[in-house]
Amino acid sequence: MADSFGPMHDEDADDGVVGMGPDEGSSRQEPIRVLVVDDHALFRRGLEIVLAAEEDIQVVGEAGDGAEAVEKAADLLPDIVLMDVRMPKRGGIEACTSIKEVAPSAKIIMLTISDEEADLYDAIKAGATGYLLKEISTDEVATAIRAVADGQSQISPSMASKLLTEFKSMIQRTDERRLVPAPRLTDRELEVLKLVATGMNNRDIAKELFISENTVKNHVRNILEKLQLHSRMEAVVYAMREKILEIR
């Protein structure tokens, strides 16, 4: 299929998408319901055409800015919000927080041309589960949607490198400032968090610790609640910053 929106392409990309978290296969019976948010109508239409070819993905709505995205998310309650970072009226990052409030079960993937580190970090802090650059292939968009719907975090490789660099900087900065004591995690929660940080999914963590997958999911949920965070990726960033994890 020929390109119809921006720099995305169908050819195999040199860079894939870095995934984090569960990869356990989906038992989903209903299609993944997607809300597309971008201020360029042609780009939105291109995404809709591409995703319409996927039997397990359904575009249920579209929005041209962050304010409209919040309204549509509250009305449609999508599984996935595919959203640009920089838009008029209200940007994607600002809209992220509001969408999580009106549609808590929705998972947000930022699909953008912005490769600014600050946008990446702010998006993660606002609750985004994925951050993809529009240079990825069209096939990878559908793959990323499925992965995030199944509990993974997705990030473009070039941005993942920047994130790892920031991890190291965070750790160095902790030596130069006084930190608020981190919430107390149990020994088992710390074990789970360390394995999450290595990129292991729930199934592999369960095997490693000889516990059930449901128990792992409960531990991850408790960790996020204690740390008042939205995603596994945020938990890893926080743990590194607070020296809960020792990175070598």
The pLDDT tens digits of the residues spanning 20-54 come to 554 444 456 789 999 999 999 999 999 999 999 99
* Domain co-membership, 232 together with 124: no
Is position 246 within any domain?
no
Is position 169 within any domain?
no
Name residue 57's beta-bridge partners. Answer: 32
* Domain co-membership, 192 together with 88: no
Question: How many C-beta atoms surround the C-beta of residue 73 within 10 A?
Answer: 25
pTM of the model: 0.58
Domain that holds residue 213: 178-241
Is position 10 within any domain?
no
Q: Is 191 in a helix, a strand, or coil?
A: helix
For residue 8, pLDDT beyond 50: no
Is position 166 within any domain?
no
* Domain co-membership, 150 together with 30: yes
DSSP string, 135-150: TSBHHHHHHHHHHHHT
Is position 220 within any domain?
yes
* Domain co-membership, 46 together with 111: yes
Is position 170 within any domain?
no
- Give tens-digit pLDDT for 196-226: 877 788 888 999 999 999 999 999 999 988 8
* Domain co-membership, 74 together with 149: yes
Chosen domain end from 105, 136, 161: 161
For residue 68, pLDDT beyond 60: yes
pLDDT at 226: 86
Q: How far apart are CA 145 and CA 228, in angstroms?
A: 25
* Domain co-membership, 97 together with 68: yes
pLDDT at 200: 81
Give the closest residue to 90 by CA, choosing from 113, 106, 72, 117: 72
- Give tens-digit pLDDT for 53-65: 999 999 999 999 9
* Domain co-membership, 122 together with 148: yes
Query: CB under 8 Å to 10, separation ≥6 — which residues?
Result: 1, 3, 137, 138, 139
pLDDT at 11: 41
For residue 175, pLDDT beyond 70: no
Structure-token pair, residue 149: 């719907």
* Domain co-membership, 49 together with 137: yes
Is position 47 within any domain?
yes
Number of domains in the chain: 2
The CATH number for 28's domain is 3.40.50.2300
Average pLDDT over residues 67-92: 93
* Domain co-membership, 37 together with 154: yes
For residue 159, pLDDT beyond 80: no
Contact 108, 150 (CB under 8 A): no
Name residue 67's beta-bridge partners. Answer: none
- Dihedrals phi, psi of 28, to nearest 5 degrees: -60, 130
Query: CB under 8 Å to 116, separation ≥6 — which residues?
Result: none
Q: How far apart are CA 146 and CA 103, in angstroms?
A: 19
The CATH number for 222's domain is 1.10.10.10
* Domain co-membership, 81 together with 182: no
Is position 73 within any domain?
yes
User: Does 193 or 139 have the greater pLDDT score?
Assistant: 193
* Domain co-membership, 51 together with 119: yes
* Domain co-membership, 219 together with 104: no
Q: How far apart are CA 187 and CA 196, in angstroms?
A: 14
Q: How far apart are CA 222 and CA 114, in angstroms?
A: 33
CA 232 vs. chain centroid, Å, equals 9
Chosen domain end from 110, 136, 161: 161
pLDDT at 60: 96
pLDDT at 151: 86
